[in-house]
Each structure stands twice: as structure tokens, then as C-alpha cells.
Amino acid sequence: MALHVALVEPRIPPNTGNIARLCAATGTTLHLIEPLGFSLDDQALRRAGLDYWDAVELWIHPGWRAFREAVSRDRCLYFSTHGERSFWDAPYRDRGCLVFGNEADGLPERILEKYPDRVYRIPMTGPVRSLNLATAVGIVVYEAVRQLNAHR
């Protein structure tokens, strides 16, 4: 089983570092889509990822178009507070790519409009608008791992 996580223009180094550590723990490939809100040499990014950066298969894409050329559309599922369906119902699959927006803006509107049938959300019952990006990615990755392992 292989999963991929893509972050569209992430801005907060510790979130990306924590997501990198999650990817190392689950054998998930990490795609960062530029522009990034930080340098890959950022100390907070490195600290959050601890000593696990060498264990992460990391792809840096110079923009959305470059990401699209590297990863086919049919492999992608998108996660946003604007999704109509729950992440529990997403059709996770081997080599699937779980795409998340950045901390401030979420996924770009053009993606939400172009792929509405592939956008999922994490249900929340409280007054919170959204979860921390690293938390959301962790929830979705482990649900995908759970579902994919159940089908083995």
C-alpha cells in the first residue's frame, strides 16, 4: 500500500514538519506545491520533522501545473471544510493522493469548482471553522491506511 499527500502552498513550517513526520511513520510520499510560505531550511520545519526527513519521499513541485503533470487527476482526492461528503466515505486506493490546501486559504476555489465530486470534509459538530492542517492530514491519512489495510 502506498499513499501520497499533497500540500498546496503550505505556509506554516511546523505544520509541514509534523506532516512530514506523519509521512515517515506511514510510508506516505509527501508533495509540496510551491510557492511555500517558508524555506525548506527553516529551523521550525526541521525541528517539527525531527530526524525523520531522510525517511520521507519528498517531491517539490514549482506550482499546481507541475504537480498535475506528475500526478494524474484520477489518483487525487481533495479535503476541505467545503466538501459535501465525509472523509469516511472517500474512495481511498493504493497510490492515491490526498490533497490539502494551506492553513490560511484552504484549497483554491478553482480546485473545489473543478472537482466537486472528489472533495471531502472532516465532520465537526462544534463551533470550530477548521482543524489544524497537520491534525486534519493525520486524521485522513490514518483513515485511508485503516480502509486500505481492511481490504488486504
Give yes or no for a contact between 120 and 77, defined as CB atoms under 8 angstroms apart: yes
Is domain 4-150 given the CATH code 3.10.25.10 in the classification?
A: no
Rounded to the nearest 10 degrees, the angle between the axes of helix 133-150 and helix 13-26 is 10
Q: Structural domain boundaries of the chain?
A: 4-150
Q: What is the DSSP letter of 45?
A: H
What are 49-104's pLDDT values in tens digits?
A: 567 888 999 999 999 999 999 999 999 999 999 999 999 999 999 999 999 999 99
For residues 144 and 152, what is the distance between their CA atoms, to the nearest angstrom? 13
What are 91-140's pLDDT values in tens digits?
A: 999 999 999 999 999 999 999 999 999 999 999 988 988 899 999 999 99
